[in-house]
């Protein structure tokens, strides 16, 4: 009886060891992580919390290990050139730079706010400032968002040029605020009277009004740009074609109620990303951004 029990026990242990070996696939465990770069929005901590569920969701749906790389806008050219990222989520201006210089491929566009997958930039002033036209802007001060922001810098700089105002000579001074939350600082800077004019993305203006921080009566929207594609998911040109298509389909089919488990907490992926979904990226729709980058003498089209 003792011998029988001993042999049964050995058989069970061998069976468990065999099962463990079957679940530990060397091909999967040793597989190189897929690195996806995210542009830092406002702060590194905020961005990590915002995009971690999407990274986990991609890992879950593809069966591949995805690794988040957080970087500032000006770092992406080097990261992409050195193949430090396989995929990216950046604003549309940076996406164009990567496409023009390294043949990056666009996959999907964020959907958020009143204009869906497109966004716009506004030039604002305090309602009581008396500034209502472009001519009223001469000699005034202005605060822009980040220098690589399509809707917090480029769109507004172009609006000024197209309406006879050279920011370099016709404004008394303009600044780009340091640190995090630059778009918020634009709105606060104008509201508290530190600057006469501000370059505010419509999405951020709407967001802060909806949150009750400001009201529609606090500002005059002097001008607003054409709507253009918003933040973009893209890939290295030589990334695995099947994985590119898989990521694109996952993004386009992501629903508002899709969740993922992170550190014991169930999170809604799109809600955490502050998005309503994704739309297909159509290259021709980025032409208005390219045109403005050229008129504003911005890389990769800079001539002097």
CB atoms within 10 A of CB 197: 26
Task: Show Cβ contacts of residue 87 under 8 Å, excluding neighbours closer than 6 positions.
Answer: 34, 35, 36, 37, 107, 233, 234, 235, 236, 239, 244, 247
Per-residue pLDDT band at 12 (split at 50, 70, 90):
very low
Q: What is the pTM of this model?
A: 0.88
| C-alpha 83, offset from chain centre | 19
Cα-trace Rg, the chain: 24
Token digits of residue 211? 């949150």
Bridge partner residues of 89 (DSSP): 38, 233
* Length of the chain (residues): 304
pLDDT attached to residue 30: 55
Find the mean pLDDT for residues 104-130.
97
Q: Give all strands (DSSP E) within the chain, no chain letters.
A: 34-39, 66-71, 87-90, 105-111, 118-119, 121-126, 141-143, 173-175, 197-201, 219-224, 228-229, 232-235, 259-262, 265-268, 277-280
Per-residue pLDDT band at 304 (split at 50, 70, 90):
confident
Query: pLDDT of 15-25, one tens digit each?
Result: 444 443 333 33
pLDDT attached to residue 62: 97
Question: Residue 168 pLDDT more than 70?
Answer: yes
CB atoms within 10 A of CB 11: 10
Query: pLDDT of 14-71, one tens digit each?
Result: 344 444 333 333 333 358 999 999 999 889 999 999 999 999 999 999 999 999 999 9
Query: pLDDT of 240-281, one tens digit each?
Result: 999 999 999 999 999 999 999 999 999 999 999 999 999 999
Question: Residue 165 pLDDT more than 50?
Answer: yes
> DSSP per residue over 221-278, as a string?
EEEEPPPEE-SEEEE-TTS-HHHHHHHHHHHHT--TT-EEEETTEEEEHHHHHT-SEE
Question: Residue 139 pLDDT more than 50?
Answer: yes
The closest alpha carbon to 124, from 180, 202, 213, belongs to 202
pLDDT more than 70, % of the chain:
90
Q: Identify how many contiguous H helices and E strands the chain contains and give both numbers.
A: 11, 15
Grouping H, G, I as helix, E, B as strand and the rest as coil, residue 202 is: helix
The closest alpha carbon to 230, from 133, 144, 119, belongs to 119
Question: Residue 164 pLDDT more than 60?
Answer: yes
Question: Residue 11 pLDDT more than 90?
Answer: no
Phi and psi (nearest 5°) for 264? 80, 0
User: What structural domains and CATH numbers belong to the chain?
Assistant: 32-115+229-295 (3.40.190.10), 121-225 (3.40.190.10)
CA distance 269 to 275: 9
CA distance 270 to 278: 9
Query: What mean pLDDT is reported for the chain?
Result: 91
């Amino acid at each position: 009886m003792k011998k029988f029990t001993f042999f049964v026990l050995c058989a069970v242990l061998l069976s468990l060891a065999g099962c463990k070996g079957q679940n530990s696939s060397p091909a999967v465990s040793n597989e190189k992580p897929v690195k996806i770069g995210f542009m830092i929005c406002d702060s590194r901590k905020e961005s990590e919390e915002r995009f971690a569920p999407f990274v986990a969701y991609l890992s879950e749906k593809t069966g591949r290990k995805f690794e988040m790389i957080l970087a500032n806008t000006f770092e992406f050219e080097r990261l992409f050139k050195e193949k430090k990222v396989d995929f990216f989520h950046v604003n549309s201006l940076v996406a164009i730079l990567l496409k023009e210089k390294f043949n990056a491929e666009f996959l999907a566009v964020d959907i958020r706010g009143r204009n869906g997958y497109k966004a716009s930039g506004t030039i604002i002033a305090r309602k009581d400032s008396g500034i209502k036209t472009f001519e009223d802007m001469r000699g005034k001060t202005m605060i822009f968002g980040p220098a690589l922001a399509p809707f917090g810098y480029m769109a507004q700089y172009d609006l000024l040029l197209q309406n006879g105002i050279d920011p370099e000579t016709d404004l008394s001074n303009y600044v780009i605020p340091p640190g995090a939350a630059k778009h918020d600082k634009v709105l606060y800077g104008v509201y508290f009277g530190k600057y006469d004019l501000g370059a505010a993305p419509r999405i951020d203006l709407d967001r802060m009004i909806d949150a009750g921080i400001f009201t529609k009566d606090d500002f005059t929207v002097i001008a607003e740009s054409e709507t253009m594609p918003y933040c973009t998911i893209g890939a290295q040109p030589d990334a695995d074609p099947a994985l590119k298509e898989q990521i694109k389909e996952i993004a386009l089919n992501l629903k508002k109620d899709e969740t993922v488990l992170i550190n014991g907490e169930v999170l809604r992926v799109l809600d955490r990303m502050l998005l309503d979904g994704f739309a297909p990226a159509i290259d021709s729709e980025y032409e208005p951004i390219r045109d403005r980058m050229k008129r504003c003498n911005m890389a990769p089209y800079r001539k002097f």
